[in-house]
Amino acid sequence: RYQAQTLNTTYVYDFPNLFYQAVKARWRERVEQGQCTAADIPSKLLESVELVLDKDGKLQEVKRPPGSNKAGMVAWRTTLNTPEYPQGREVIIICNDITHQIGSFGPDEDAVFQEASCLARHLGIPRLYIAANSGARIGLAEEVKSIYKVAWNDRLKPEKGYKYLY
């Protein structure tokens, strides 16, 4: 969380709570406007389960502590009980984790994004993508690496980027 805050962004595992707070505020507005009563508010405003790729590349629903992700992309299957959908509206939420390799895309992140997106399409439900990333991590063949030289911003911390290639 601290790492995300130092980058002036939101920690990926805080997004479900932000959705909860938004749904709660929407219900409060409806009550204040006299469009419903407090008794109309569902006891659960949000239910969310993380979607994680198993060893075969298939999504599995898991409950695990925040920050347990091995990829810089996190997805949830979430049900939002809003005034418009008091019985629940299911959505897939996909977010980059800026604290994992600066939220960059690589093969693992792409696989999570792809599978979660396919699940949303298969279920016919909305997919919400929240981007907080630094671009793609592009691999380079070992045979080519020796040809390039890199002027790193900090040679001991390559994740801080580079000035140029030569």
Q: What is the pLDDT of residues 36-75, one digit of tens each?
A: 999 999 999 999 999 999 999 899 999 888 777 888 889 9
pLDDT recorded at residue 127: 97
Q: pLDDT exceeding 90 applies to what percent of the chain?
A: 52
Question: For the segment 79-119, what is each residue's pLDDT rounded down to a tens digit?
Answer: 999 999 999 999 999 998 877 666 667 788 889 999 999 99
The yes-or-no verdict on residue 4 having pLDDT over 50 is: no
Q: pTM score, two decimals?
A: 0.73
Q: What is the 3-state secondary structure (H, E, C) of the chain?
A: CHHHHHCCCCCHHHHHHHHHHHHHHHHHHHHHCCCCCHHHCCCCCEEEEEEEECCCCCEEEECCCCCCCCCCEEEEEEEECCCCCCCCEEEEEEEECCCCHHHCECHHHHHHHHHHHHHHHHHCCCEEEECCCCCECCCCCHHHHCCCCEEECCCCCHHHCEEEEC
Q: 133 versus 125: which is more confidently predicted?
A: 125
